[in-house]
């Protein structure tokens, strides 16, 4: 018997950075779901043997520590369910594009495992908010993949967020393919050593409130301004940690400068953000996608709507 589930990735505009315990974020965060960037997890029940992981056909193998983390979380989800399982997973976006895959893969694993175990036990699948809370303990950002197009995560509350913004498309400018040297889990630990961390939580809380209002009233410009400030805030934490670390590549700065100049010239531009990586996410109104893609024709672009 085999069960399959898929889940989308998401991009945070207010960042989850700094955590306690089982991925309890120290501050609220907010994201747009990226429905085109998905992970799929297949779970097959077998007669015996240890639980195992394999890539889905055509997908890349995971690194050893990622496989261990994935299987460890599966053991936790499995609890007392008897039997042996073979997990297969893969992403529909390139693994070397520097896009975080833990959000979509842990969300898909949580959903696939609960689909399988609900079926085996003859019980209903838990509602999305509960699945999101469970998934959070595997990888924090994955909890925001259960609500679309916008999701807020504040403490134990994870849910949809009202927005009157136009439909947006995320244009991911891929400037570097290298595997990141500092994992986001390590970044969560290290930012606590930054002198800027002392006031990080109130700063993020204020921005969260301001961005909630900006989304609710459809204020595109305010959303872009808050997102820009938040991107520099998170990366400044990285740059001032002990030891300091950074994700920017030369192309990252080129795209940030381009975005700044675009806003200055046109009084309009993309909502810009960067995760724990070098690639730049430009969220633009869906109906202006072609215009922005033409402006960025010299770069490799991946595209997803909400
Ligand atoms: C920079 O969810 O990858 O993308 O909970 O340790 O798995 P773990 O961390 P993870 O952290 C993501 C951090 C971020 C910002 C964000 O998505 O909010």
* Distance from residue 218's CA to the centre of ligand 1 (Å): 26
pLDDT value for 95: 73
pLDDT value for 99: 78
* Distance from residue 83's CA to the centre of ligand 1 (Å): 32
Atom of ligand 1 nearest to the CA of 16: 18
Which one, of 251, 245, 253, lies nearest residue 276 by Cα?
Answer: 245
pLDDT value for 101: 78
pLDDT value for 62: 87
* Distance from residue 45's CA to the centre of ligand 1 (Å): 30
Atom of ligand 1 nearest to the CA of 183: 3
User: 168-305 has which CATH code?
Assistant: 3.30.70.890
Identify which of 276, 279, 280, 281 to mutate to test ligand 1's pocket (most ligand atoms within 8 A of the CB). 276
pLDDT value for 179: 78
Ramachandran assignment for 30, one of left (phi > 0), alpha (psi -120 to 50 degrees), beta (any other): beta
pLDDT value for 96: 67
User: 2-160 has which CATH code?
Assistant: 3.30.230.10
Which one, of 76, 90, 77, 93, lies nearest residue 41 by Cα?
Answer: 90
The mean pLDDT values, 10 residues at a time, for the chain of 306 residues are 97 97 95 97 94 94 91 95 94 78 94 97 96 97 98 97 98 90 93 98 98 98 98 98 97 98 98 96 98 96 96
Atom of ligand 1 nearest to the CA of 102: 3
Tokens representing 210 are 């301001």
* Distance from residue 12's CA to the centre of ligand 1 (Å): 9
* Distance from residue 82's CA to the centre of ligand 1 (Å): 32
Whose C-alpha lies nearest to ligand 1, atom 6?
A: 185
* Distance from residue 148's CA to the centre of ligand 1 (Å): 18
Q: Which helix (H) or strand (E) holds 148?
A: none
Name the pTM for this structure.
0.96
pLDDT value for 192: 98
Q: List C-alpha distances in Å: 62 to 56, 106, 118, 120.
A: 11, 13, 27, 28
How are beta strands 52-55 and 29-46 bridged, if at all?
unpaired
Q: List C-alpha distances in Å: 111 to 31, 39, 188, 238.
A: 19, 11, 25, 32
Identify which of 100, 107, 247 to mutate to test ligand 1's pocket (most ligand atoms within 8 A of the CB). 100
Identify which of 30, 105, 141 to mutate to test ligand 1's pocket (most ligand atoms within 8 A of the CB). 141
Q: Do domains 2-160 and 168-305 have the same CATH topology?
A: no
Residues with CB under 6 A from ligand 1: 12, 15-17, 23, 29, 100, 102, 139-141, 184-185, 188, 275-276
Identify which of 7, 16, 104 to mutate to test ligand 1's pocket (most ligand atoms within 8 A of the CB). 16
Domain boundaries, the chain: 2-160, 168-305
């Amino acid at each position: 018997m085999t069960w399959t589930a898929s889940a989308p990735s998401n991009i945070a505009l207010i960042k989850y950075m700094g955590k306690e315990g089982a991925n309890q974020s120290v501050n609220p965060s907010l994201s747009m779901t990226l429905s085109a960037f998905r992970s799929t997890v297949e779970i097959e029940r077998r007669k015996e043997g240890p639980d195992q992981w394999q890539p889905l056909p055509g997908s890349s193998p995971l690194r050893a520590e990622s496989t261990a983390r994935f299987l460890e979380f599966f053991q936790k989800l499995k609890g007392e369910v008897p039997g042996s399982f073979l997990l297969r997973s893969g992403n529909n976006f390139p693994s070397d594009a520097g896009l975080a895959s833990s959000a979509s893969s842990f969300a898909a694993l949580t959903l696939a495992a609960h689909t399988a175990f609900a079926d085996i036990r003859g019980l209903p699948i838990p509602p999305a908010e509960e699945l999101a809370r469970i998934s959070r303990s595997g990888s924090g950002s994955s909890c925001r993949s259960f609500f679309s197009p916008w999701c807020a995560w504040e403490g134990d509350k994870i849910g949809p967020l009202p927005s009157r913004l136009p439909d947006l498309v995320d244009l991911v400018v891929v400037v570097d393919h290298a595997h990141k040297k500092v994992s986001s889990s390590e970044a969560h630990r290290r930012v606590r050593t930054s002198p800027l961390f002392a006031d990080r939580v109130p700063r993020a809380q204020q921005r969260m409130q301001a961005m909630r209002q900006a989304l609710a009233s459809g204020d595109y410009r305010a959303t872009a301004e808050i997102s820009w400030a938040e991107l520099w805030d998170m990366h400044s934490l990285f740059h001032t940690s002990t030891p300091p670390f950074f994700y920017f590549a030369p192309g990252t700065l080129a795209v940030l400068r381009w975005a700044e100049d675009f806003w200055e010239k046109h009084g309009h531009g993309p909502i810009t953000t960067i995760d724990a990586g070098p690639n730049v996410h430009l969220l633009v109104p869906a109906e202006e996608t072609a215009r922005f893609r033409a402006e960025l024709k010299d770069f490799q672009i991946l595209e997803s709507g909400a």
